[in-house]
Amino acid sequence: MIFADLVFIYMFLPVNLALYYLCKNKSYRNFILILFSLFFYSWGEPVWVCLLIFSSLVDYTCGLMIDKNRGKPMAKAAVFMSLLINLGLLGIFKYSGFFAENVNLLFGADLSIKRFALPVGISFYTFQTISYTVDVYRDETEVQHSFLNFLMYVSLYFQLVAGPIVRYRDVALEIDSRRETVNDFSHGLTRFCIGLTKKVMIANAAGKLSETYLHAVDGSLTVLGAWFGAILFSIQIYYDFSGYSDMAIGLGNMFGFHFLENFNYPYISKTVSEFWRRWHMSLGNFFRDYVYIPLGGNRRHQFLNLLAVWFLTGLWHGASWNFIVWGLFYCVFIVIEKIIGEKRLQKVPSFIMHIYLLLVVIVGWVLFYFEDLQQGIHYITVMFGNADALYNPNDIIDFYNNIIWAAVAVFFSTPVLKAAEKSFVNKSRYMDAFLGVVIPVINLILLVLCTSLLTGQSYNPFLYYKF
């Protein structure tokens, strides 16, 4: 099941909200969320619920062991056990087939390990449970004594299958004693409608159009067409993933949870380093706090630490060489920026830095898109002139037919509207009352438009579901 689905919007969510708010007991409310979350997760692959519950049980037990044996070798053993089991499961299901394929290729071996069907969301909830045990060991969060409450944290369907990666310490108080308010519910509903609109009206449209170019037959792709396809995919993946994050954060608000932001207008960045401080922030923060800093951070072996982080970032996204190359591709630019220095980069005109960033990111998304690395590299060569033609009439027609839509998509990927709204609200004492009337109307309009587009539409999962 996905959020951008009529069954979820008009059946699953209303029933969940009704039962949740009809129940006044806090413990029962948590139990209701567990049941609905497990049902949501098992909608397409019920067998993987067992793996989710097992991972939760492992880290719940490890947390108790750490808390009971602080300062003793058993505490370290519990952390090691958590890492071994969680990363072991992730390795078996996500990377064993990839490893076997490359061993066979390099050494002529005959390992017959096939790729497993990947449990949805395993990369996300594995990192969440690991962060819990490590934080308990570091004494940065208190241990959770209720297994059901811990299972609720791991299984919450709001962010289970595609993030954001929610650390236990950020929601610990809300798991045990949260307070739902009308204001939070209203903000959550608006955030959900915004995310749904991003997904249905922009990401889906961009994805459908981009396939015309990204899947073009050899020889038919022009330079302009290649750039058009890459830019469309860049729009698609931003609105797809940020739209999901908006919906996840909005759903959390409806039930009294406050998740940290996962996107902060990444396409307005001027450097690659800044881009990754704004894109998928929960993943970047995880690697910073649990890999980069423990390895030494900026203090020692900085470039080796960056290499390790970006190799793992690429590998986390998928068991394929294109993702590894994609991660290392970003590593190269970040290292170059570190060598040049932030002060020198600030002296370069902003528009030049912004163009540089967009070029790097757009090319990077091509590497990300094509799991066949050779195909991705070939596509990039076409973008830079390795084509039979610069453009053809169809490219021009598609460009003019979609220029307004694309301009709107680009506009809403910047904080211009948000800044204008804040400025206007601060200058008008009647704004709160005005928005109290207008926002529900806008939400209803957006919901009706998205519903009409979803009616009869084929299954279209979020891009990050497969990670």
Q: Which pLDDT does position 292 carry in this prediction?
A: 95
How would residue 420 be classed by pLDDT, with cut points 50, 70 and 90? low
Q: Is a pLDDT exceeding 80 seen at residue 52?
A: yes
Q: At what angle do helices 49-68 and 147-155 cross, to 10 degrees?
A: 130
Distances from the Cα of 30 to the Cα of 22, 144, 159, 176, 258, angstroms: 13, 14, 16, 9, 16
Q: Which pLDDT does position 8 carry in this prediction?
A: 93
Give the pTM: 0.92
- Which residue, 66, 457, 110, 127, is CA-closest to 280? 127
Residue 329 CA to residue 326 CA, distance in Å, equals 5
Residue 270: half-sphere exposure toward Cβ, Cα within 13 Å: 11
Q: Which pLDDT does position 236 carry in this prediction?
A: 94
Secondary structure (3-state) at 241: helix
What does the pLDDT look like over 358-412, one tens digit per residue? 999 999 999 999 999 999 999 999 999 888 888 888 888 888 888 888 888 999 9
Mean pLDDT across 137-141: 93
Q: Which pLDDT does position 424 carry in this prediction?
A: 63
Give the number of other Cβ atoms within 10 Å of residue 55's Cβ. Answer: 25
How would residue 101 be classed by pLDDT, with cut points 50, 70 and 90? confident
Q: Is a pLDDT exceeding 70 seen at residue 459?
A: no
Q: Which pLDDT does position 458 carry in this prediction?
A: 59
Q: Is a pLDDT exceeding 90 seen at residue 430?
A: no
Q: Is a pLDDT exceeding 90 seen at residue 233?
A: yes
Percentage of the chain surpassing pLDDT 70? 94
Mean pLDDT across 121-137: 93
Contact call for residues 36 and 12 (beta carbons, < 8 A): yes
- Mean pLDDT (the chain) is 90
Hey, which residues are catalytic here? 317
- The amino acid present at 458, given as its one-letter code, is S
What does the pLDDT look like over 27-42, one tens digit per residue? 899 999 999 999 999 8
CA 181, 182, 185, 191 torsion: positive or negative? negative
Q: Which pLDDT does position 421 carry in this prediction?
A: 66
How would residue 241 be classed by pLDDT, with cut points 50, 70 and 90? very high
- The amino acid present at 342, given as its one-letter code, is E
How would residue 89 be classed by pLDDT, with cut points 50, 70 and 90? very high
Please count the helices (runs of H) and the strands (runs of E) in the chain.
23, 0
